[in-house]
Structure 1
């Protein structure tokens, strides 16, 4: 939706821009994910697509802001469709579920710049397991400098259908993304296995965490191996959030033109896991 630049709407546009800036600053050290109104919609069901920001899978709504959206779409039945909506509204959009197979909702953001004081930047890096960045700043004598960063979001969510869709196990080509090895919405998907990819290549040593909705203490954490692979021994069914952060030093042009020293890439995946497969009747569990 394009706003007019005339009359009172100019003030509204300015307020929205200020809100977007404030949201970016407040959300830096928080996870970002997609939370649909139903993870298991029936065929033809309208699903509200909410965006959330928070910690431990407890989040606040993020109203839709067109200037922050790079891509926002649903992929189902072999087709991709953009998710439209009105600015400054939660939910951020609506989709109609096909229901025949797993559908994938995806969101990528434009970059948001932020500068943090040195101590807060270091604390945030340690909180998210970005210790190599802490070490690199120490090695370069930058530990006392403010952290100048541009961050990007790459969120995916799966809607359970009548059957699996192998497409959900394929990369979408996002700069940073979490790719499950099998469709985690189907029974028997334990342990959960997947890969983290940066620019299509596996990332070794990335911290990956999994959070169970409604259970803030049910948090699993691991690091990806040399192939970018990770494994979580899920034992309880429910809605799960898997997330990871990857940070790289900004290029010389970005540092010169935009005063950015770092670029962080935040990936998330939400889905409803049905739980462990039940043993066949008459067989020991």
Structure 2
């Protein structure tokens, strides 16, 4: 069993050429879609401590608070010590909620948001699609003669945050039923730089999806890869610290919808230890 302070991971800088799948480092000057993530007051809370849960939207790990809105909350819970409990909070408040940390083993904060509608000018919408690796949607718009049409989209936010504890837990490797979900195949608070992930849309593996990793202390450099035929990806994270993993999936809306597209934004935040 690990000590209360964890065994320290031995970090090694792997050659980027050895990464499985394609990767890119994207500079801050490129077009960035807004990210959405969970930012707790501590990623490694002490047992019995009160954790405040902030919801953030922004770019390059610099975000504005998203105030709690009951009308958009489909699910907002803490899963710890084998139990799932709602995270308490009041509307129009930041942080969005508070809970008491068990702190003994790895815990999971889960957020599932209802749909919100946005519209973007055609060029900006296409830039957003390209930035998120949604070239198939760009191609479909061209094929249908929609390339000059305003992008009408309803998006859903699906976010998780992993909180380290005195020991690890397999609970963070299990799907929790979000519409779009990033699932680690091992507890990321315990691994040594190599992180295996699976992408699930409606509970099924999603192949060919773009997924990005962003370090909080080096946000302008993003590791970008695509999931394999099993919806999986292996990421070599070159440094310790807080990470944001994100992905966007989009599909055409139904015939009677008031938008053209529906998208799901998935994110996962956690802290990896170094020497």
TM-score, normalised via structure 1 length:
0.83
1:52 aligns with 2:56: yes
Question: Which residue in the other structure is 1:97 paired with?
Answer: 101
Alpha-carbon shift at residue 56 of structure 1 (Å)? 1.6
Hey, what's the Cα distance between the residues in 1 that align with 2:126 and 2:110? Answer: 30
Distance 1:137 1:189 in 2: 42
Q: Which residue of 1 aligns with 2:201?
A: 198
Structure 2 gap ranges (5+) = 1-31
Residues 182 and 189, structure 1, Cα contact 8 Å, conserved in 2: no
The one of 192, 209, 213 aligned to 1:210: 213
Higher helix content, 1 or 2: 1
Q: Distance in 1 between matches of 2:192 and 2:143?
A: 43
Spell out, residue by residue over 1:100-133, the C-alpha distance to the aligned partner (whole angstroms, 9 max, x if none): 1101001011000112221121111112111110
1:147 aligns with 2:118: no
Alpha-carbon contact 1:105-1:158 (below 8 Å) kept: yes
2:34 is matched with which residue: 30, 48, 63?
Answer: 30
1:117 & 1:131 partners in 2: Cα distance?
17
CA deviation after TM superposition for structure 1 residue 190, in Å: 2.7
Matches within 5 A, 1:157-196: 157-186=161-190, 188-196=191-199
Residue 46 of structure 1: how far off its partner (Å): 0.3
Which structure: larger Rg?
Answer: 1
- Matched with 1:138 is 142
Secondary structure class of the residue paired with 2:42: coil
Shift of 1:268: 0.2
- Quote the residue 1:236 is aligned against: 239
* Paired residue total: 244
Structure 2 CA distance for aligned equivalents of residues 222 and 29 of structure 1: 17
Corresponding position: 1:226 with 2:229: yes
Please say if residues 183 and 189 of structure 1, whose CA atoms lie closer than 8 Å, have aligned partners that are also in contact. Answer: no
Secondary structure at the counterpart of residue 252 of structure 1:
coil
Q: 1:43 aligns with which of 35, 38, 47?
A: 47
Write the distance in 1 (CA, Å) between the matches of 2:261 and 2:211. Answer: 20
Q: With structure 2 as the length reference, what TM-score do the two structures score? A: 0.86
CA RMSD of superposed structures (Å): 1.3
Matches within 5 A, 1:93-132: 93-132=97-136
Q: Deviations over 1:67-108 (max 9, x none)?
A: 121110000011000012111111000011101110100101
Highest RCO, 1 vs 2 (Cα 8 Å, sep ≥ 6): 2
Cα 1:218–1:121 shift into 2, 3 Å: closer
- Does the alignment pair 1:70 with 2:95? no
Runs of 4+ displaced beyond 3 Å? none
3-state SS of 2:124 partner: helix
Q: In the TM superposition, what whole-angstrom CA distance separates every residue of 1:227-256 from its partner, at most 9, and x where no partner exists? A: 1111111121100000000001111232xx
Aligned-pair CA distance for 1:204: 1.1
What is the alpha-carbon distance in structure 1 between the residues aligned to residue 221 and residue 100 of structure 2? 31
SS, match of residue 142 in structure 2: helix
1:61 is aligned to: 65
3-state SS in 2 of match to 1:138: helix
| Whole-Å separation in 2 of the counterparts to 1:84 and 1:253 | 36
Which residue is 2:15 aligned to?
Answer: none
